[in-house]
Chain A
Amino acid sequence: MEAVLPIDERPREESYLSGAIWGWLTTIDHKRIAVLYGFTALAFFLVAGIEALIMRTQLARPDGTVVDAATYNQLFTMHGTTMVFLVIMPLGIGLFANFAVPLLIGARDVAFPRLNAFSYWLFLFGALFLHASFFVHGAPDAGWFGYANLTERHFSPGTNLDFWVLALLILGISTLITGLNFLVTIINMRAPGMTFMRMPLFVWTILVTAVLILLAFPALTVGLIFLLMDRFFGTHFFAATLGATPLLWQHLFWLFGHPEVYILALPAFGIVSEVIPVFSRKPLFGYPMMAYSTALIGFLSYGVWGHHMFAVGMGPAAEATFAATSMLIAIPTGVKVFSWIATMWGGSLRITTAFLFSLGLIIEFTIGGLSGIMHAAVPIDLQQTDSYFVVAHLHYVLFGGSALALFSALYYWWPKMTGRLLDERLGRWHFWLTIVGFNGTFFPMHFLGIAGMPRRIYHYAPGMGWDLWNMVATVSAFILAGGVAIFLVNLFVTLRRGAAAGADPWQGRTLEWWTPSPPPEHNFDRIPLVGGRDPFWGWKYGAQGSEAVTAARPPLEAAPADTIHVPHPSWFPIVLAAGIVVAGVGMITRFAVVPIGGLVALLAIIGMGFERATAGEGEQPGVGTDRTLGVLDNRKVGVWAFIGSESIFFASLISTYLIYQGRSTTGPGPADILSIPLTSVSTFVLLMSSLLMVLALAATQRGDGRWSRIWLLGTAGLGMVFLGGQVYEFSHFYHEGLALQTNLFGQTFYTLVGFHGAHVTVGVVWLLVLARAAFAGQLPARRSLAVELCGLYWHFVDVVWIVIFTLIYLLKGAVGP
C-alpha cells in the first residue's frame, strides 16, 4: 500500500522547539510544556534512582553501614514521593498527555494553555521546594504515605515533614489543574467527527485519569490540611488521646492513594494501546470493550482503598466489601491484557524498541496484577502486609506497569517530538538490561517477603536467610541503572545526530502522524474532519486498511490557514506559581512572607483575567464534536468540573466533622455554643446574595451597565456582611472558650466553616474585580460569561452553606457515627 496523502514537511526552524530562553519561560504551547515536564521528570527520575541504589547498597549485605537509620528513612520517603509525584505522574500526564492528546484529537492546544503553563511551573517549584529540604534540616522521613501519628510535630519535630506537607499541597494544586485542563480539552476540543467512540485509546485513558484526579486529590488535600494544622497551629486531628483517630489519615490518604495507582497506570495502558496496534499493523482488538473497561477501572478504583487497610481491622463487612471490589477490578484490567494479546495475534509484528517495552509491560504488569489479587484476599494480605512481598508487588505494577510503558512512549513519540529517531540498537540494550535488572531486583523480593523480611528496615542481622536474595536484588539494581544510563546516552546522542524521522516513521494510525515532525507551533495547518477510528490510516490506505474506518479522503478542513490563532506567551503563569511557592516558603521560614506570596499570586490571577484572549480558552466554533454535547464553552465546563471537585473537598471536611461529632473529651460542644438566630440571619443574607448575583448576570446580559454594577456591588456587600457575621461568631466563640485547639469540635468546626468563609472571601474579591471592570466599561453584554462564571462559583458557595447550616447548626449532634 502507498500513502496517498502528502504530508506537509515544514523546515525544522519553524518547529515549536526553536526559540530563546524567554520563549520557554513564557510559553503556553502544550508541546513545549510537555518537553519541560519531560526533562524535569527525567532529572527527578535520576534523583530517585540514585536514592534507590543507595538503599540497595545498604541492604546488599547484613548489617549494612552505608547510611544510618535516619538517612535511610529519608531515602525511602523521598524515593517513593519522588517516583509517584515527580516522575511517573508527570511523565504520563505532563509529558505524554500534554504532547500527544491535542495532536491525537486534532486540536491546536489544550483548553486552558496558560493554566497548563501554570501547572508546570507550580510542579517545578513544588518539586524544588520538596528537595530543598535536603539542604535544611533533612528530607521528609515518614514514608510517602505519611502515616499519622508519626507525622505529628511531637514525633517528628524537625522541618522535614513541613516540607513534605507543603510540597504535596503545592503539587496537588498543579495536578488538579492539569486534570481539569485535560477533562475540558477532551470533552470539548476534539476535531469535528471525533466522537467519544472514535477517540484513540490513549485519549480515553487520559480522560478517565483526569476524572480520577478531580475526584481523588481533594481527599488528599483535606488530609494534608489537617496535618498542616496539626503541625503549624496546634490542632490534633489524629491524636487518639483527644478522641480523634489516626485512621482518619489512612482513610483520606488511601481514598486518594488507590485511585492514584490508576492515575499512574491508566496512561500507561493507553500508551500500550497505541503502540501495539501500530507495530502489529492491526486495529486495536475489541476497542469498545477497551474503552468501557477503562471507564470501569476508573469507577472501581474509587471503591477499593480499604484493601490498603486490612491490617487495621475495619470489621468483616467493610473488609469483605473492599476484598470484593479489589477482585472485581481485575476483570476490566484482564480485558485489556487479552485485548493487547488478541491485537498482536495474527498481526504483522515489527519488533521495535517501543514495541518491546509495551510487550514487557504486558508480562510484568500481569505478574504484578496477580500478586495484587493475592492482596485482595484478607487472610493472605495480613500475612504479606509490611513485608517485602508488597515492595515486589508495587514495583511490578508501577515500574513493570507504568515505567515500561513510559519508556515505550518515549521511543514511540520521540521522533514526533524532536524529528529524530532514537537509536534502535542502543534501545534494545536499554530494553534487555531493564528487563533483566528489573526482574532480578524485584522478583527475589517476593521470596524475601515470604521469608519474613519487613519493608523499610535499614539493616538486618546475618543468618536470617535473606542474604542471597538481597545481594541478587542489589546487583540487579545496578544492571537496571546501566540500562537507564544507555537510555540517557541514546537520548542525548540522537538528539544531535539521530536519523531524521519524517512525519510518519512508524506507519502510524492516528492524527499526530499526519503533521510534520516536530510539529509546527499550531499543530495542524487545517483542522481535520474525522470519519472513523484510526483516521490517518484510513486516509492513507482507505477503508480496507481498517475495518473501523470510513475513509474520508482527502481529509477535509475546518478552517483556512489564515485564521489560525496561536496562543500568546504569558508571564503570569510563572509569576502565579512563584507567588504560591513563596507563600509555602514563608510557612517554614517567616510567616510574614506568606501574605507577600499570596499578594503576588492574587495580582497574577487578576492580571491573567484581564490579559488578552488566547486561543482555546473560549468556545470552539465549528469544532462541535459530539452531537450530544454540541458546542460547550471551555471555561464553563472548567468551572463546573472545578465545582464538582470542590464538592469532594467539602464532603471530606463535612465527613470529618460528623465523624468526630460527640467525641470531644472536653467542652464546649455544638449544643452549648452554636447560635441559631445569628446563623439564620447569615443564611438569609447569603441566599439573598445569590439573588443579587443572578440579577447582576441578567443586567450584564441585557447590556444594562448601571444595574450590573449595582447588583455586583450588592452581592459583594452581602458577602461581606456574611463574613462579618462569621468573624463576630468566631470571636464570640473564642471568648466563650472555644479556640481552634480546644477540642475536636473546635478543630473540625473552625476548619470546615473557616474554609467556607475563605471561599466566600475569594468570591467577594472576584465580584469586586468584576465590578471594577464594569465601572471601567470592560463588561459589556458580550462578556457576560465572566459574570456567569463568577455566579456559578458564588452559588456553589451558597449551596455548600445550605448543607453546613443544616448538618452543623440545625442538627447539632443529631448526625454522626
Chain B
Amino acid sequence: MSNTTHPESHHPGTRVYLIVAAVLTVLTAIEVTVFYVPAMQPVLLPVLLLLSAAKFALVAMFYMHLRFDRAAYSAIFIAQLFIAAVVIMALMVLFAVFLGRG
C-alpha cells in the first residue's frame, strides 16, 4: 500500500479514548432510560436530540480527531453536515405544509 504517516496529526492517547468510550456508554444508557421514563415523555424529543448530538460530537471530535487535526478537515465536514441538516429541515417543512393540507 502506498500510505505514509501523516506527521501533522497529534492524536490523544488510550486514556482519552477509554474515557470517551465510557461517556458514550453512559449517554446511551441515559438515552434508553429516558425513553422508558413516562415523566420524560413531554421533553423526550429535545432531550434525546441533545444526547444524540453530544454523542455525535464526541465521536467526531475525539475518535475522528477533528479536535486535534487541521481545521480544514473540520471545515469540509461541518460545511457539508450543515447542508445535510438544512436538507432534512427544508424537506420536513415543505412536506409538512404540503401533506398537512392533503
Give the B-binding residues of A (Cβ under 8 A): 187, 214-215, 219, 245, 247-248, 251, 255, 302, 306, 313-315, 317-318, 609-614, 617-619, 628-633, 635-637, 640-641, 643-645, 647-648, 650-652, 654-655, 658-659, 663, 676, 680, 683-684, 687-688, 690-691, 693-695, 697-698, 701, 773, 778-779, 781-786, 788-789, 791-792, 795-796, 798-799, 802-803, 805-807, 810-811, 814-817
Q: Is the CB of A782 within 8 A of B5?
A: yes
Across the interface, which residues of B come within 8 angstroms of A796, CB to CB? Answer: 64
Q: Is the CB of B24 within 8 A of A687?
A: yes
Q: Give chain B nearest CB distance to A692 CB in angstroms.
A: 9
Across the interface, which residues of A come within 8 angstroms of B1, CB to CB? Answer: 609-610, 773, 778-779, 783, 786
Number of A-B residue pairs with CB-CB distance less than 8 Å in the complex they form: 203
Most buried by A among B8, B72, B77, B100: B72
Other A-B pairs, 11, CB within 8 Å; known A637-B76, A687-B21, A778-B1? A630-B8, A641-B80, A647-B80, A659-B92, A687-B25, A687-B59, A691-B17, A691-B20, A779-B1, A811-B48, A817-B95
Complex interface residues of chain B between 1 and 54 (CB less than 8 A to chain A): 1-6, 8-9, 11, 13-14, 17-18, 20-21, 24-25, 28, 31-32, 35-36, 44-45, 48-49, 51-52
Q: Is the CB of B28 within 8 A of A684?
A: yes
Q: How far is the CA of A806 from the CA of B47 in the complex (A)?
A: 10
Q: Is the CB of A690 within 8 A of B59?
A: yes
Question: Which residue in B32, B62, B93 is a CB contact (below 8 Å) of A676?
Answer: B32
Question: Which residue in B14, B62, B76, B84 is a CB contact (below 8 Å) of A640?
Answer: B76
Q: Give chain A nearest CB distance to B100 CB in angstroms.
A: 7
Asked, given contacts A318-B94, A654-B88, A691-B18, whether A644 binds B28 with beta carbons under 8 Å apart, the answer is no
Q: How far is the CA of A643 from the CA of B48 in the complex (A)?
A: 24
In the complex, residue of chain A having the shortest beta-carbon distance to the beta carbon of B78: A644
- 24 residue pairs A–B, Cβ–Cβ below 8 Å: A215-B80, A610-B1, A612-B2, A631-B8, A632-B70, A644-B76, A644-B77, A647-B77, A647-B81, A651-B88, A655-B92, A659-B95, A676-B32, A676-B35, A687-B21, A687-B59, A695-B14, A795-B59, A795-B60, A799-B56, A802-B56, A805-B31, A806-B48, A810-B32
Q: Is the CB of A648 within 8 A of B97?
A: no
Question: Which residue in B8, B14, B28, B81 is a CB contact (below 8 Å) of A687?
Answer: B28
Q: Is the CB of B14 within 8 A of A684?
A: no
Across the interface, which residues of A come within 8 angstroms of B85, CB to CB? Answer: 651
Across the interface, which residues of B come within 8 angstroms of A784, CB to CB? Answer: 3, 5-6
Q: Is the CB of A693 within 8 A of B63?
A: yes
Q: Give chain A nearest CB distance to B83 CB in angstroms.
A: 5
Q: Give chain B nearest CB distance to A550 CB in angstroms.
A: 26
Q: Is the CB of A814 within 8 A of B98?
A: no
Q: How far is the CA of A785 from the CA of B20 in the complex (A)?
A: 22
Q: How far is the CA of A695 from the CA of B20 in the complex (A)?
A: 12
Q: Give chain A nearest CB distance to B5 CB in angstroms.
A: 5
Main secondary structure of the interface of A (DSSP, over half): helix
Pairs A-B, 9 closest by C-beta atoms? A644-B80, A817-B96, A613-B2, A651-B84, A806-B52, A786-B3, A647-B84, A785-B3, A691-B21
Q: How far is the CA of A737 from the CA of B60 in the complex (A)?
A: 37
Across the interface, which residues of B come within 8 angstroms of A612, CB to CB? Answer: 2
Q: How far is the CA of A796 from the CA of B87 in the complex (A)?
A: 19
Q: Give chain A nearest CB distance to B28 CB in angstroms.
A: 6
Across the interface, which residues of A come within 8 angstroms of B100, CB to CB? Answer: 817
Asked, given contacts A637-B76, A648-B84, A658-B92, whether A317 binds B3 with beta carbons under 8 Å apart, the answer is no
Q: Is the CB of A648 within 8 A of B21?
A: no
Q: Is the CB of B87 within 8 A of A255?
A: yes
Across the interface, which residues of A come within 8 angstroms of B5, CB to CB? Answer: 701, 781-785
Q: Is the CB of A811 within 8 A of B80?
A: no
Q: Is the CB of A648 within 8 A of B87?
A: yes
In the complex, residue of chain B having the shortest beta-carbon distance to the beta carbon of A322: B94
Q: How far is the CA of A425 from the CA of B78 in the complex (A)?
A: 52
Q: How far is the CA of A789 from the CA of B9 in the complex (A)?
A: 13
Q: How far is the CA of A640 from the CA of B14 in the complex (A)?
A: 24
Across the interface, which residues of B come within 8 angstroms of A630, CB to CB? Answer: 8, 70
Q: Give chain B nearest CB distance to A710 CB in angstroms.
A: 14
Q: How far is the CA of A406 from the CA of B59 in the complex (A)?
A: 45
Q: How far is the CA of A57 from the CA of B8 in the complex (A)?
A: 63
Q: How far is the CA of A110 from the CA of B60 in the complex (A)?
A: 29
Q: Give chain B nearest CB distance to A112 CB in angstroms.
A: 11
Across the interface, which residues of B come within 8 angstroms of A815, CB to CB? Answer: 45
Q: Give chain B nearest CB distance to A612 CB in angstroms.
A: 7
Asked, given contacts A640-B77, A791-B63, A817-B99, whether A652 binds B2 with beta carbons under 8 Å apart, the answer is no
Q: Is the CB of B59 within 8 A of A783?
A: no
Most buried by B among A187, A619, A655: A655
Q: Give chain B nearest CB distance to A769 CB in angstroms.
A: 10
Q: How far is the CA of A693 from the CA of B45 in the complex (A)?
A: 31
Asked, given contacts A659-B99, A690-B59, whether A651 binds B6 with beta carbons under 8 Å apart, the answer is no
Q: Is the CB of B72 within 8 A of A187?
A: yes
Q: Is the CB of B73 within 8 A of A795?
A: no
Q: How far is the CA of A648 from the CA of B4 in the complex (A)?
A: 30
Asked, given contacts A652-B87, A688-B21, A778-B1, whether A245 binds B56 with beta carbons under 8 Å apart, the answer is no
Q: How far is the CA of A783 from the CA of B4 in the complex (A)?
A: 4
Across the interface, which residues of B come within 8 angstroms of A245, CB to CB? Answer: 95, 98-99, 102
Across the interface, which residues of A come within 8 angstroms of B93, CB to CB? Answer: 318, 817
B67 at the interface (CB under 8 A from A): no
Q: Is the CB of B95 within 8 A of A640?
A: no
Q: Give chain B nearest CB distance to A104 CB in angstroms.
A: 21
Q: Is the CB of B64 within 8 A of A648?
A: no
Q: Give chain A nearest CB distance to B59 CB in angstroms.
A: 5
Across the interface, which residues of B come within 8 angstroms of A789, CB to CB? Answer: 3
Question: Which residue in B14, B35, B72, B80 is a CB contact (below 8 Å) of A637?
Answer: B72
Asked, given contacts A650-B84, A684-B28, whether A629 binds B72 with beta carbons under 8 Å apart, the answer is yes
Across the interface, which residues of B come within 8 angstroms of A690, CB to CB? Answer: 21, 59, 63
Q: Give chain B nearest CB distance to A589 CB in angstroms.
A: 35
Q: Is the CB of A617 within 8 A of B52?
A: no
Q: Is the CB of B3 within 8 A of A644?
A: no
